Amino acid sequence: MTETKQFIDNNQSFFFGKADAVETAKKDLEIFHQREILNSKIDRSGGPINGDIVIINGVVKFVSLDRFRESGTIQVCDSGSFHLFSDGGLDFSGTHNFGKIEISSLVNTTVTGSLNCWIFSGDDAGPGRRVNWKINVPVWEIAK
C-alpha cells in the first residue's frame, strides 16, 4: 500500500467523497514531510521538546509540556493530541497525567520513534479540516 493510500485510509472521514482526495493527500503528506525535517532541526541541547518520546521504566511517554525547561524539568503524558506547526514545533492538547521529570536525568538515545500528530489539510485552518499522520521524533530515556 502506498503512503498516499495509507494516509487517505487513516483520514477517511476527511477524504470521503472528495474527487481530489489523492491530490490533496499528496500535498498534505508533503507538508508533514517538510515539517518533520524542520522538527528534526530544532535545538534539543537543553533537553527534549514537546512531542519527543521519553521511555520511563520501559513505558513510552510523550513530552507534553516543555515550558519548564529553564527550571530543569519537563512534563510527560501517556497520550494526547499534538498539532504540528509550520516551524516544525508541536503543541500538546490533553491531560498531563504524569509528573515532572528532571531533564538532567535524561539522555538522547540517538534513535527516533513515531509520533502521531495533525495539521489542517492544505494549511487551511477550520472546523473538520484536521488530518492525522506521524513523524519521527527523538527518543530519550532515563540515564543508567
Which tens digits make up the pLDDT trace of 30-62?
999 999 999 999 999 989 999 999 998 888 888
CA distances from 37 to 30, 103, 130 (A): 11, 24, 20
The average pLDDT across 84-90 equals 97
pLDDT at 70 over 90: no
The average pLDDT across 136-141 equals 96
* Burial class for 60, CB neighbours closer than 10 Å (0-12, 13-18, 19+): middle
Q: Helices 21-40 and 3-10 meet at what angle, rounded to 10?
A: 100
Alpha helices in 11-116 (DSSP H): 12-15, 21-40
1/117 Cα distance (integer angstroms)? 21
Which tens digits make up the pLDDT trace of 4-37?
999 999 999 999 999 999 999 999 999 999 999 9
Q: Name the average pLDDT for the chain.
A: 92
